[in-house]
Structure 1
Amino acid sequence: VNRARFQIDPPLEDSAQLPAVTPPPLPVALQATTAPGDQASHAQDAVQPTEAAPAPMPTLAPAPALTLVADDAEIRHLRQEVAGMRQVIEREMNRFTDERLRGSPVRATALDLMDEYGFDAGIARDVAMQIPLETEAHRGRGLMLGLISRKLPIAPVDPMEEGGVIALVGPTGAGKTTTIAKLASRFAEAHAARDVALVTTDTMRIGAREQLYGYGRQLGIAVHEANSGTDLDQLLERLKDYKLVLIDTAGLGPRDRALAAQLQWLRAARQVRTLLVLPANTSFGDMDEVVRRFGAANLQGLVLSKLDETGRFGNALSVAVDHKLPITWVTDGQDVPDDLHRASAANLVLRLEDLRRAADMPCNPELNHAVA
């Protein structure tokens, strides 16, 4: 029977030229279960050109997890080095710019004047670069003042004309209470004392409430107190019929922990417009920090106070320009309400020279002596 099976299969052509094919040995498991007659068919299948199965990928041991250990001290040191390099580059660039600007006499004069007025060096460079090189010397100062006035952010509308609720915030000694008294007096003269209400949130500092109550008695205006954000919301709801409500907040330093809570009160009361009272007799760096710290109250304007106590308030104008805070009013004395003025770009730049000359003017010694 086996001989008959092999004779039926067709013979291979040119079998002499084909290489001998030796089938690979079967696995032990298959050798035990495969019939002898099936071995020939497996041999024929091996001759057919079939695609080789891909070799199995070797199994790799799992890589150890990478643990990045950040050295905080090294990172801080690296950041300090980068910041230092940036400062060096900026300083060299500014020095190069100053040298180039001072190559023009009219621009050099503008830089010197703005430095005397107290302006920040960056704003002084911006203004000087806008002065054309062919500008005549006698026209340089007027052109410089015009460029400064165009940079100043001035509130287009007096907030008192709109009425509503206005809160004044600022550091200790900025003049908030006196400024509120001036605003209340002006509004009472234009309307009536019964249309104005005063609110104080400074209930802890000795003498703070008494000062505002004293102004209220002089002006015939009611004064109210709020000890928390809830009290403030309820109080403003009761005072909603007043045309103008002025809030005098506690004077806090920019790093005072209580500052955040106070500013949160004002942010929670959506109907409150917050203005920052900034004393002009402060250094540029300190004023810049005050604006950044009090910015959490969503400042909508700026009140420049104590212009009479400085001869170089260009630094205050520089802060307003840098932070794009619209200037609403300026104060220059303690008289209520005379020493309060609506902010004007033209008036502010014209006062730069007047205040500088007044500051440089020598004081006349007292000639009167007591007679024994």
Structure 2
Amino acid sequence: MKIRRFYGKDMREALKQVKDELGGEAVIMSNKKHADGIEIVAAYDKEPDAQLMPNKSEPTSKASQTRKTPTLSEIIGDSGPDSLKALLEKQSQSASPTQIKDLKQVPEKQQQVYSSNAVAAQQNNQQQDALKEMRQELSSLRHILQFQVSGLIEQEKNRKHPLHGYLLQRLQQMGISDALAEEVVSYAPEEADERQSWLFLLKLLANRLQTKPDDILSQPGVVALMGPTGTGKTTTIAKLAAQAAHKYGVEQVAIITLDNYRIGAYEQIATYGKIIGCSVKQAQNSNELSDLLYQFRNKRLVLVDTAGFSQKDARLIKQLETMKQNSCANIRNYLVMQANCQYRVMQQTVNEYRQISLQGCILTKLDECYSLGEVISVAIENKLKICYLADGQRVPEDLQSASTKFLITSAAKLYKKYGLIHTSANHVNNAVVAV
């Protein structure tokens, strides 16, 4: 005889398992309730083992042959039903009609519960979507109200101080950032007229702007030009090398390039070096850069041309690490920026290249600018010193030392030529330099 255990969430399911696996003649030994359901212990007969079979050589009595095998109930002394069929009949007889009806309605009730849960979940999702949409609408209304309130505040300021509002608008049209323009206008004198106030603001911007004229050529050492691609680093190095060779001699100038990515980069700088007459070498990594710097240790000026990467390019970090590893050589790093870039682009460029110490910056492509207020704002807000200005492709003529007066005057003239409403239409197709 074999004994098996069956588990179900209720008596109906457990008895069904017994009937399906052991048949209707199985014997129920016990049943227990658990937290997860019902446990039933059932037994069923199997074929007799060989050791229990009677020996053919021994005679058996007629009474023993006709005697039936005792049931499990007789062995354990239980007077309950032996088979599963009898147990089901007994339960059906003892159960009341109400219990039977409730037992039949159990699946229907469960289905109703599942349906109600699904409806509740759907309603909850709809409520969440409605709440999200309501929050978005409130956020939009808040932004609109903030815009309207700021407009009203601005109108009130302009009503009380019309001159300040006019000057603020002129500075913004000139390309000066909003924060810097508001800060500068706050110092404008109340009793002065429009022209005097405008000249006062330009002088104030000139005082805030920092320059280092002729900083690279006047001091010996190693100078590296950094900056994004397309800013004109290679051409600027050629201009600096040509001016230094003319001033100190070609044997006192050397050029090292780290640009191993751009096709023809070394050939371009090598051609400049051949024309100028100075030495040009290429470094593949920081070790080769260190060796070349030691080789050129007796040169008055060594110019390092770095590869141009976007501020979003991961290779920029690797190049900056190369420059940091050679910090023992006392390399002076200068940032090369296009003066005709957007304010945010220049601001992000300065933030990325601040990982290394910057001695100053060189502004290029001034001949392509329609305004200079953006680059002036970036230089003032980041306290970045401007050293040189490049306004053309000629080597070495189109490179001059930075001048605060020249930059502010140029910015004002560009604003007068392209920024004013009554003059912008006359020069929309004219891209020549305004100075």
Q: Give the drift of 1:101.
A: 5.2
Distance 2:387 2:270 in 1: 25
- 2:382 is aligned to 323
Letter in 2 for 1:179: T
Question: What is the rounded CA distance, in whole Å, between the counterparts of 1:122 and 1:163 in structure 2?
Answer: 38
In 1, the alpha carbon distance for the partners of 2:149 and 2:306 equals 43
Contact 1:117 1:313 (8 Å CA) reproduced: yes
SS at match of 2:358: coil
Tell me, yes or no, if the aligned pair for 2:222 and 2:304 is still in contact at 8 Å. yes
Is the CA contact 2:213–2:388 (under 8 Å) kept in the aligned structure 1? no
Contact 2:363 2:389 in 1 (8 A): yes
TM-score scaled by length of structure 1: 0.70
Whether the aligned pair in 2 keeps the contact of 1:101 and 1:129 (CA below 8 Å) is: no
- Residues 246, 90 of structure 1: CA spacing in aligned structure 2 closer, same or farther, 3 A cutoff? farther
Give 1:95 shift: 5.9
Q: Return closer, same or farther for 1:362/1:292 CA change in 2, 3 Å cut-off.
A: closer
How far did 1:107 drift? 2.1
Tell me: CA distance 1:328–1:273, structure 2 relative to 1, closer, same or farther (3 Å).
Answer: same
Query: Aligned in 2, Cα 1:165/1:210: closer, same or farther, shift over 3 Å?
Result: same
What secondary structure is seen at the aligned counterpart in 2 of 1:204?
coil
Q: Give the match for residue 231 of structure 1.
A: 288
User: 2:289 aligns to what SS in structure 1?
Assistant: helix
Alignment CA distance shift 1:114-1:230 (3 Å): same
1:257-296 counterparts in 2 under 5 A? 257-270=314-327, 271-296=330-355
**How far apart are the structure 1 equivalents of 2:212 and 2:156?**
35
Where in structure 2 are the equivalents of 1:15-30 lying within 5 Å? none
Tell me the equivalent position of 1:340.
399
**Matched residue of 2:396: which SS?**
coil
Kindly tell me: are residues 274 and 101 of structure 1, through their superposed partners in 2, closer, same or farther at Cα, counting changes over 3 Å?
farther
Report the AA paired with residue 249 of structure 1.
T
**3-state SS in 1 of match to 2:354:** helix
Q: Which structure features the higher share of helix residues?
A: 2
Return the alpha-carbon distance in structure 2 between the equivalents of residues 172 and 342 of structure 1: 23
Cα–Cα, structure 1 residues 145 and 197, in superposed 2: closer, same or farther, change >3 Å? Answer: same
- Cα pair distance change 1:156/1:210, threshold 3 Å: closer
- Is 2:157 aligned against 1:113? no
Distance across 1 between alignment mates of 2:253 and 2:311:
30
Over 3 Å counting, the alpha-carbon distance change for 1:185 and 1:91 in structure 2 is: farther
- TM-score with structure 2 length normalisation? 0.60
**Residue of structure 1 in register with 2:216 after alignment:** 159
**TM-superposition CA deviations, 1:231-276 (whole Å, max 9, x none):** 1111101111000000000000101111111111112222100000
What residue in structure 2 maps to residue 198 of structure 1?
A: 255
How far, CA to CA, are the matches of 2:334 and 2:149 in structure 1? 36
Corresponding residue SS for 1:274 = strand
Give the SS at the match of 2:362.
strand
| Counterpart position of 1:313 | 372
Deviations along 1:45-96, one digit per CA (max 9) or x if unpaired, are xxxxxxxxxxxxxxxxxxxxxxxxxxxxxxxxxxxx9xx9xx9999899767
2:271 maps to 1:214: yes
Distance between the aligned counterparts of 1:155 and 1:311, measured in 2? 24
**For residues 253 and 92 of structure 1, do their structure 2 counterparts lie closer, same or farther at Cα, with a shift above 3 Å needed?**
farther
Tell me the CA shift for residue 302 of structure 1: 0.8
Q: What is the Cα deviation at residue 138 of structure 1?
A: 2.3
CA contact (8 A) 1:106 1:135 kept: no
Q: 1:95 to 1:194 in 2, by over 3 A?
A: farther
2:161 is aligned with 1:102: no
1:123 paired with 2:180, answer: yes
Shift of 1:216: 0.8
Alpha-carbon spacing, 1:356–1:210, altered in 2? closer, same or farther (3 Å): farther
For residue 330 of structure 1, report the CA deviation from its aligned partner. 1.2
Tell me, in whole angstroms, the C-alpha distance in 2 between the residues paired with 1:261 and 1:102.
50
Distance 1:159 1:229, change over 3 A: same
> In structure 2, what is the Cα distance between the partners aligned to 1:97 and 1:269?
53
Greater Rg, structure 1 or structure 2?
2
Amino acid at match of 1:186: Q
Tell me how far 1:121 sits from its aligned partner. 0.6
Provide, for residues 163-211 of structure 1, a one-character-per-residue CA deviation record: whole Å limited to 9, x for no partner.
Answer: 2000001001011001111111111111111111011000221021111
Look up the match of 1:356: 415
Deviation at 1:355, TM superposition (A): 2.7
CA RMSD of aligned residues (A): 2.8
- Post-superposition offset of 1:142: 1.1
Which of structure 1's runs of 4+ aligned residues deviate more than 4 A? 87-101
Classify 1:250/1:116 alpha carbon distance in 2 versus 1 (closer, same or farther; 3 Å): same
Q: Percent identity?
A: 34
Whether the 8 Å contact between 2:214 and 2:388 is mirrored in structure 1 is no
* Partners of 1:89 and 1:296 in 2: CA distance: 40
Q: Which has the higher contact order (CA 8 A, sep 6+)?
A: 1
Paired letter, 1:162: Q
Structure 2 unmatched ranges of 5 or more: 1-135, 419-423, 431-435
- 1:97 positional shift: 7.2
Name the CA distance, whole Å, in 2 between partners of 1:310 and 1:152: 19
Aligned residues: 284
